[in-house]
Structure 1
């Protein structure tokens, strides 16, 4: 079982890294920024691969009534927002900056759980959300490659992510966001989604959060070497503060699970 969990975790990290780097390459280097086309392409590829996986018995798809499908419509709108805004933001922002801003969605989720579900929040998780919020809030003032449009779309993206995860239920395999790109991205996006589902089903929340954190760290680190990213000491401090906040979030998840 331990070996299986490690394999699933490493597969997820590989898909995460490959998906983000491929998307960033197509969106920034090749300048192919057509989110609607990305959405159509990835929906087609994802649908075909999902159907094949279902036929092969790799995934189980339960049939749902029309009322259930109608209940998914708000989440579907948010999902489209995630794709569109995410691809816009990723095309303009460095990957470490994008991931740091994206982490603010955790603050939205935590706030919803605290205020509406009245769930108990550990001190470590509260500190984590404060660090994540502080890191994202300081970045615009210290980013030497500041792009107003990139930050604008990143804000829309993180609110869509936060609302989707905290408020709405979404169909089995469609909870993970796509950022779109070229042909390779369609396949990578599906396998990233598939490996994420396996990771969440097989591992405890704390272990799953640790693998996601590890995937973000290696993706952010490698992206700095592959793409043009100018990070000042202040911006680096913001990124490290965000990493500390997410590390605390992982700690709180492992402690509560």
Structure 2
């Protein structure tokens, strides 16, 4: 029934917004910049995908800590440029509409740092690493996915590998024990934020798997788009960010490009 699909999509949107808001709160308000150790069957063939996943979530967390949610999603959207470029190399079959769409997304992402009134070079550097890792991960997931692994099993391997790698890396880089120097880590607000981030991330994962299993890919992409727009529109009421007209235009055009991408996927089916 159609109403069940809407309920699934709406549930996904709610967890999407709450998850990103909670992560942004823990990362930027509580100033805890080592989140991937706490946020988030085994197959050797999926190891490259897991490594790309680690790069994606680590760089994404670093970028989200420094950039407004709207700017983060503008860079996040540019991962589709990497995806389409690598698809072109592998399949050599990309529609002209998709090329136009990713061009709009890429131009928006490139223009954004030039117009950002509070330009943060470190945040944008992590954002570029995030979008490259995410784009490569999507290509690997699309073209090199092992047939014997379900989506849940892929995520299980991803989080297991990320925990092991980041746990071993935490001590030499100071990410874990260096963070413990701050007394607020023992506060109830901090502990509640981390617990909420972990729980919402888990529920978002389940909602994402449910959404992808019950809807066509273009419908899933549309719900993801609507969730991003909802998060962007609500974020100024929760987080303080300095946005001017040119940077806002970059955000708007990036999401126009995303809509064109969804439409291009639809007409190709």
Classify the TM-score, shorter chain: 0.7 to 0.9
Shift of 1:169: 2.8
CA distance in 2: counterparts of 1:166 and 1:157, whole angstroms: 14
Match of 1:51 in 2: none
Q: Does 1:217 align with 2:217?
A: no
How far apart, CA to CA, are the structure 2 residues paired with 1:230 and 1:3?
39
What corresponds to 1:140 in structure 2?
Answer: 113
Shift of 1:111: 1.2
Shift of 1:175: 5.2
Aligned CA RMSD, in angstroms, stands at: 2.2
- Match in the other structure for 1:91: 65
Runs of at least 5 residues in structure 2 that lack an aligned partner in the other structure: 164-192
Pairwise mapping of residues 95-106 of structure 1 onto structure 2 (< 5 A)?
Answer: 95-106=69-80
Q: Secondary structure at the match of 1:247?
A: helix
- Name the CA distance, whole Å, in 2 between partners of 1:139 and 1:153: 15
What are the Cα deviations for residues 27-76 of structure 1, in whole angstroms up to 9, with x where unaligned? 000111113xx33x334xxxxxxxxxxxxxxxxxxx56xxxx11122122
Give the secondary structure class of the aligned counterpart of 2:39.
helix
- Residue 217 (structure 2) aligned to one of 184, 194, 205: 205
TM-score for the superposition, normalised by structure 1: 0.84
The aligned residue for residue 14 of structure 1 is 14
Asked if the contact 1:206/1:255 (under 8 Å) is kept, the reply is no
| TM superposition shift of 1:97 | 0.3
| 2:195 corresponds to | 183
1:169 aligns with 2:141: no
Structure 1: where are the runs of 5+ without partners? 44-62
Could you tell me which residue of structure 1 aligns to residue 29 of structure 2?
A: 29
Specify the SS of the correspondent of 1:72: helix
1:246 maps onto 2:261 in alignment: no
